[in-house]
Chain A
Amino acid sequence: MQFPILTLITFLPIIGMVIVLLLPKDKTRTIQITSAIVTGLQVLLAVLIWSMFDTTKTGINEVASMQFVERLPWIVIPETPWFGEIRIDYFMGIDGLSMPMVLLTALISFLATFSSFSIKKSIKGYFAMFLLLDAGMMGVFCALDMFLFYVFWELMLLPMYFLIGIWGGPRREYAAIKFFIYTLAGSVLLLLVMIGLYLSTIDPQTGAHTFNMIAMMDPANVTEGIFATVGSTARMLAFVGLFIGFAIKVPIFPFHTWLPDAHVEAPTAISVILAGVLLKMGAYGLLRISFPIFPEMTLYFQIPMMILGFVNIVYGALCAMAQTDFKKLIAYSSVSHMGYVLLGMAALNVQGMTGAVFQMFNHGTITAMLFLLVGVLYDRAHTRGLNEFGGVYNKMPVYSFLTVIAFFAAIGLPSMSGFVSEAFVFLGAFQTSKLWTILSTLGIVLGAGYMLWTFQRVFMGTLPEKWESVLDDVNGRELFTLIPLAIIIIFLGVYPSPALNWMSTSLGHLVDLVNGSAGQAMISTF
């Protein structure tokens, strides 16, 4: 038994939460420092995982090449004459698909903790919820048993509801419940498919039904129940149901409407978490569950998914252009950028897939930085109206310089990480569907349009009188959260190969699994 590093990284925040809850309410500084230490340790563990990670192992559907595996029986209910053994494993492990997400989650949570220091209202409750949310997110990316995955997936709903609902902006109640109900509606679909898959899958080792996601990926194990027949309507409905469930999280048009509300109302740190990590969970779910378990449906819905990707890109960008609220603009740009992820993964080739996962990572860092930047301005001016500003460059040069980096990265300028991932996405998507790829490139033009226009409106021109005294340049704490992201963005833009190496083996394998002989054989029978 090796050192249970994934358990540690997942449950560390829970320990932190317990400590925070035990501390007296007025020890705000101690609470803040505890949270920072916990998330900081998480970053260290994530870096440790990264350093020990073997990029040559494939993972995806092979247990043997999963890394840092921990597997313990969790619930074992003995067999009865009329129903087999019920067995749920505590089964954690990561591969090239989840490793970047683990790293991203640790990093964003750490930076968001510092951004949370500006929270003034019931600090104890805030950090308790924040740490619980952190544990849920980390667990989702590490779980390989679907039941466990589902528990983590749902675990972060409630903290998120409270974080938006208690510490959010004026319309926080509406935004919080909208987020909650949308996501729950999606995840109950996931629950149904999970139960169906459980009843259909036989674990070859135990001969009993299993929640093991890896076992579900092998058609030879899926022999009973409603999902046994390849190409059946039940499987198609299951794929659509899962897709909707995950699409709500991504979010994919037309299930995106919760996102602008949630982003606008959420406090800065929570917007950062939302954009940086939460949205990735939907895309991750598609890659981890939908694609490998229902490969024939993935191929069947390939072009519709690409079209949705295109819609997301262009619709998101057009909406962003129409916004006058800085935060809402970034929220819609998020929708647009997640469209690239969908476009890339639906391309079903190594370039597209790598581009998609890399874009997930980059979007996590870039958008997190954008939200942090909006937060900086909002903390000073208490408004986010784009048209109320102008000439901020003169007053806040460092801030403006950092904004330039983030904006250019979001536009996808070469030498920034966003460029690399978008290039890969287009490279892959072009091989699959020229039409939708060409149309999607419109998003780049629109992206440059709204970003540069925003820059012009806020930073150029003359500073209105009323801001003269309030706008100070970024302080140390803010720099501490912004600089690491800027470094990562530029570094991965100039030298992306380390990041690409993390994922390429696993993603290549995933593409083969879906698009290769197995998937093709499955689609030919239906």
Chain B
Amino acid sequence: MIEIIFDSIPSFWPEITIALTFVISMIVEFIVGRKGKASTGMTTGFVVLLGLVVTIFQLPFQDLEPRLLFGTMVAVDPFSAFFKYLILATGIIIVVFSMQSRELREQETVGEFYCFIAAMTFGMLLMTGASNLLMVYLAIELVSLSSYILAGFSKKQKRSGEAALKYVLFGGASSAVMLYGISLLYGLTGALDFSSIQAALAGGVAVHSVHSFPILILASLMILVGFGYKISAVPFHFWTPDVYEGAPITVTAYLAVASKAAGFAVMIRFFYVTFFDSFVDLGHWVSLPHIDWVMMIAILSVLTMTLGNLVAIWQDNLKRLLAYSSIAHAGYILMGVVAMSDLGLTAVMLYFLIYFFMNLGAFYVVMAIADRIGSEHIDDYRGLAKRAPLIAAGLSVFLVSLTGLPPLAGFIGKWMLFSAVIEANLIWLAIIGVVNSAISLYYYARVFRNMYLREPMDGDDSPIRFSPLVIVITILFIIPNLIFGIYFGPLVTYAQNSIELFLR
């Protein structure tokens, strides 16, 4: 037993490092954070930043060959490595963003903020590799508990407290449902690790019995609830708009990109591995007969993108608008999961890579503008093109990229997703997808309509000054959106090389 642990540790260094970062940052915050009232949390912030950077540089030294660690607890494979890079990169950027956020600097205990970012990152890294239902549950809880605290971090703002409370209630309920699903599945198959469950199901356990088959379906649905909550899929999305609006904007961005990526990683691993039956040609996965989880997720995908887009049309708060848009994007990404093919997985991963650039960019600009004009309301964006031409152009690039118009990167992501869906012969899903993408144009266009087509409110067209750092960061986000729209070969290759899942 002890050998297994020692044998696993060398491949577990990234997770260990980030866990240590969490502990060390807590101690640092204890020592330096409480001295004076003027604490900006910068020291702790830099500790966490350093920890994240060290962690990301340890990733290349993880095993490249897919294997399991600690018995069956965690898998290490290119698939999880891809998501770890994505999550850590997002984490680094979020810490950098947070250091600039006025909203956060006003908090007295902002140092703790960075500690919980580390804890949340640790949980997400575990989620990407978890291949045992117990581990899945623990990892999701670790992420959730940290994010409840982060969401309520702006203590002086009522909406932040409301967000945290809603988040706790919804999170608690959905993880209870998920836990119940896990226990049902354990009761049926007698196993908690994915491959044993798969072996049991493939052996006919619970599948052929009239009594236990509905329970199996129920159990899968309940587990789906847990994942659906994490990726904010409709109808488990109710927490999303309020939390996204109420939480500090950097937390919102972290939830919208990293937490969502981790949710997708664990969900894909669970469904693909647990219900895996065989491969057919061209990397198409076939799930065990009788269990049509593909249809369940397809319906989830349609609901998610349609509702996300339709409700986004009515939003006047930019954070809320981006919240609904990110719900819609979860719906698009689910199409790639539904395709059940290696092409579908490639599309999902490619989409996340691009989503990283366009969504973080959009959140960053909204944050920068809110720091200056103190509002996220769409009416306050009027005439922004005159008052801050570069920032307005940047936001337009991100929004057009989110719409999926060529020649911006967002189009490539959509193109790949639709290719996967059409290749899997799910034409109806592709049609719903493209109709949604036309609808989404309307609310993204509302933003640049206000920025470009309308005059400023109250005739105030004084220029808004941004610090050079803000402008540089905005440009750094614009560039990949432009470049990857016309030159995306390496991105696709990278995604293709990362689809290998641990599978026995």
Contact = CB atoms under 8 A, between A and B. Distances in A.
Interface stretch (B32-40, B205-213, B244-252, B484-492): B484-492
Contact of A78 (B411, B431, B493): B493
Contacts of A225: 423
Contacts of A442: none
A83 interface: yes
Contacts of A162: 452
Nearest to B400: A158
B422 interface: yes
Contacts of A199: 419, 422-423
Chain A binding surface, main DSSP class = helix
A430 interface: no
A18 to B, nearest CB: 13
A81 B493 CA distance: 13
Interface in B164-191: none
A158 B438 contact: no
Contacts of A78: 493
Interface in B407-428: 407, 411, 415, 418-419, 422-423, 425, 427
Q: What 6 A-B pairs are tightest by C-beta distance, nearest first?
A: A82-B283, A188-B434, A151-B406, A185-B438, A82-B342, A165-B453
Interface in A356-402: none
Contacts of B411: 154
Interface stretch (B287-295, B441-449, B472-480): B441-449
B333 interface: no
Query: For chain B, what secondary structure do more than half of its interface residues adopt (helix, strand, loop), or is it mixed?
Result: helix
A166 B427 contact: no
A75 B488 contact: yes
Nearest to B490: A77
A1 interface: no
A76 B434 CA distance: 25
B452 A192 contact: no
Contacts of A77: 489, 492-493, 496
Contact of B415 (A80, A165, A172, A191): A191
Nearest to B407: A151
Given A189-B434, A192-B418, A181 B441 contact: yes
Contacts of B496: 77, 80, 83
A198 B419 contact: yes
Contacts of A459: none
Contacts of B341: 82
Interface in B449-503: 449, 452-454, 486-489, 492-493, 496
A196 B422 contact: yes
B453 A166 contact: yes
Contact of B442 (A83, A150, A177): A177
A181 B436 CA distance: 11
B434 A192 contact: yes
Contacts of B400: 158
22 contacts: A75-B489, A77-B489, A78-B493, A82-B282, A82-B342, A83-B282, A83-B342, A83-B343, A154-B405, A154-B407, A158-B405, A177-B442, A180-B441, A180-B445, A188-B438, A192-B422, A195-B415, A195-B418, A195-B422, A225-B423, A226-B425, A234-B427
A157 interface: yes
Nearest to A177: B445
A176 interface: yes
Contact of B453 (A173, A188, A196): A173
B449 A173 contact: yes
B487 A75 contact: yes
A525 B452 CA distance: 54
B487 A188 contact: no
A448 interface: no
A156 to B, nearest CB: 11
A83 B403 CA distance: 27
Interface in A162-188: 162, 165-166, 172-173, 176-177, 180-181, 184-185, 188
A152 B430 CA distance: 22
A161 interface: yes
A353 to B, nearest CB: 30
A236 B337 CA distance: 28
A490 interface: no
